[in-house]
Structure 1
Amino acid sequence: MNNNDLFYIRLSFFFSTLICAVKFVAWFVTGSLVILSDALESIINVVAAAFAWYSIYLSNKPRDTEHPYGHGKIEFFSIGFEGAMILIAGFGILIQAILFFFNPPELHALTAGLWLTIAGGAANFLLGFFLVKKGKQNNSLTLHGNGKHILSDSYSSIGVVVAIVLILLTGYKWIDPIASAIAAAIIIYTGFKLMSKSVRGLMDEVDMKIVEELVTILKEQRQPNWIDMHNLRVQRYGSLYHVDCHVTMPYYFSLEEVHEEITKLDKILNSNFQKGSIEFFIHTDPCITSSCTHCQLADCNVRKQPFIQKIEWSKENLLPNRKHSFPE
């Protein structure tokens, strides 16, 4: 985790608090439910930024005996917590919208509320865009998730602005609860997406995009001594990726030669992988007679069968625990 992430999340907390205050002022002067829904989501931004602040602090702590893989998993708790808070806010707004539809509130100073909402929404968009960009650059799930949430808040502010303009033009107060219900639906959808991402990360679900990127690097940088690779597994801990795999090498290699090949594999992947750093746990297998037909070593003095066909590596044959398998 990049130490600058702490600065960015502090920035998020400060501006989210300021934007939240602006939106509550807008609600106070107007009494509009749709503006209140926008303000309530901003409270979630503040709470989420505070939790994200702690998660980044914790994920920056070095490994210890109780956490041998580090503290990076806290990021998935962070986005899960943020998703849960968003869901609570969304359902709360939806309930209020239903109640207010039958009893619309009195509205005041909508023009002032409109400009305050525009200012808050624009600030949220700039902050969210900045955090998403930094999250991608630093491979930080927490920054990226926090930025995505703030961006969704800015998008819902567009709906709030449209609703206020329509009320000003038509005088129909029922537009207020209808618009807040639509905003609640968007908020609930965002919350479910974040919760889903959190669960997938905590359950160590395979990220196929990451696997495909690793497979591409392995195919481009493949060495003749790496006869076969299989049982590839990838787990994420913050910006650290833990990779297990089995590599088949010539059975006559010394321990020093095997270590040299593993070190070479480690350096190749870490120097070409852009999403973070990789920690390897590699199990080496000695080649067997059936390996000869797929072995590309031209100067092998113990070859028992002629070379027939190269096994093209792909996620279909690198992920399963099957030696010398072709993609199905």
Structure 2
Amino acid sequence: MARTDNLVQRIAFWGIPLAFGVMGLKLVAWWLTGSVALLSDGLESTVNVIAAFIAYFVIRYAHKPADDDHPYGHHKAEYLSAVLEGVLIVVAALVILNEAVRALWDPQVLDAPVLGLAINAVAGVINFIWAGLLVRVGTAHRSPALLADGHHIMSDVVTSVGVLIGLILVVITGYAVLDPLLAILVALNIIWQGWKVISHSVSGLMDKAVEAHEEMAIKAAIATHSAGSLGAHYLRTRRAGAATFVSFDLVVPADMPVGAAHEICDRLEIAIHEVLPGSRVTIHVEPESEEAHGVRVNVEETGQ
């Protein structure tokens, strides 16, 4: 687990200088050309810089061990980082919209378009490689902050590609008004991406359950390794960043010794850890006489 935490923190740290570098390239491209669309692309990259700082420090905090004030850990802090990044994305889009609408009334002919587009293309390639790495690591280690950052940067790549295609059309056709129109389209796309980041992160803050296939894997593990019990029910799961919490009730014969029930619980915990590594499992053992309505629950129906 410590190795995983260190990897996620290192990735988050190196996102800071890389975000500065990409932002610098895009702003140079805008300075050379005067393109509002390239300015919009550069402004979105300023959000990447802020988000990289926030993600790094929040991830460090989220990976702190549990303490007396936070007995379940600090994992949810990553969702707060992702929500804030989504808000910053929307704010950047509104700034871009303002600049683009103003430029509609006075579109400017681009200066040094070839050099500016080439520099912006280099920045887009760097972002594409980095976004792919963030998504892979964020998915593998269930880091909401890295995933949000990765998806945002990938949307930045899509934006950059659209800007490049649009500005090539501006150069070919000579219609300068296409530049601010393209910037407006970029801003609308950024707003949509920001909304997706916010909605996904809010779901995590609201203790969203695990995915359906993961729940089925948990049920299968319980069914396979619960021999000696009478059944299990009331399965509850929730995600909190990299941590997954699983709890359920296990029904045992009323005369079963505590030690025997404990052995079944140990077996079930190991089985669930195998299908969901790093999960936190809580099992409430209840005697048959306390089962609701006295009806036995088949293990295969766990969670129903």
Q: Look up the equivalent residue of 1:72 and give its one-letter code.
A: H
Which residue in the other structure is 2:168 paired with? 165
Q: 1:211-238: CA deviations, max 9, x gaps?
A: 344234334x243323222222222233
Counterpart selection for 2:300 from 279, 303, 312: 312
Distance in 2, Cα, partners of 1:65 & 1:93: 45
Quick one: percent identity of the two aligned structures?
Answer: 30
Q: 1:109-145: CA deviations, max 9, x gaps?
A: 1111110111111110000001111112222222121
Which residue in the other structure is 2:123 paired with? 120
Q: Which has a greater percent of helix?
A: 2
Q: Look up the equivalent residue of 2:51 and give its one-letter code.
A: A
> For residues 213 and 179 of structure 1, do their structure 2 counterparts lie closer, same or farther at Cα, with a shift above 3 Å needed?
farther
> For residues 311 and 241 of structure 1, do their structure 2 counterparts lie closer, same or farther at Cα, with a shift above 3 Å needed?
closer
Counterpart selection for 1:87 from 90, 109, 113: 90
> For residues 311 and 4 of structure 1, do their structure 2 counterparts lie closer, same or farther at Cα, with a shift above 3 Å needed?
closer
Note the C-alpha offset of 1:293: 8.2
Which residue in the other structure is 1:215 paired with? 219
Describe how 1:1-328 pairs up with structure 2 within 5 A. Answer: 2-209=5-212, 210-219=214-223, 221-273=224-276, 276-288=277-289, 312-313=300-301, 315=303, 317=304
Structure 2 spans left out of the alignment, 5+ residues:
none
Equivalent pair of 1:97/1:180 in contact (CA under 8 Å): yes
Q: Secondary structure at the match of 2:279?
A: strand
Distance in 2, Cα, partners of 1:224 & 1:6: 41
Note the C-alpha offset of 1:47: 0.6
Count of residue correspondences: 299
Q: Secondary structure at the match of 1:280?
A: strand
> For residues 290 and 173 of structure 1, do their structure 2 counterparts lie closer, same or farther at Cα, with a shift above 3 Å needed?
closer
Distance in 2, Cα, partners of 1:141 & 1:226: 37
- The more displaced of 15-24 and 232-241 is 232-241
Q: TM-score, normalised by structure 1?
A: 0.85
- The more displaced of 204-213 and 46-55 is 204-213
Q: Secondary structure at the match of 2:82?
A: helix
Q: Secondary structure at the match of 1:3?
A: helix
Distance in 2, Cα, partners of 1:201 & 1:143: 14
Q: Secondary structure at the match of 1:39?
A: helix
Note the C-alpha offset of 1:67: 0.8
Structure 1 spans left out of the alignment, 5+ residues:
296-309, 318-328
Note the C-alpha offset of 1:202: 1.2
Q: Look up the equivalent residue of 1:217 and give its one-letter code.
A: A
Q: Secondary structure at the match of 1:52?
A: helix
Distance in 2, Cα, partners of 1:311 & 1:271: 18
RMSD: 2.0
Q: 1:33-61: CA deviations, max 9, x gaps?
A: 10011101111111101100001110121
> For residues 91 and 312 of structure 1, do their structure 2 counterparts lie closer, same or farther at Cα, with a shift above 3 Å needed?
same
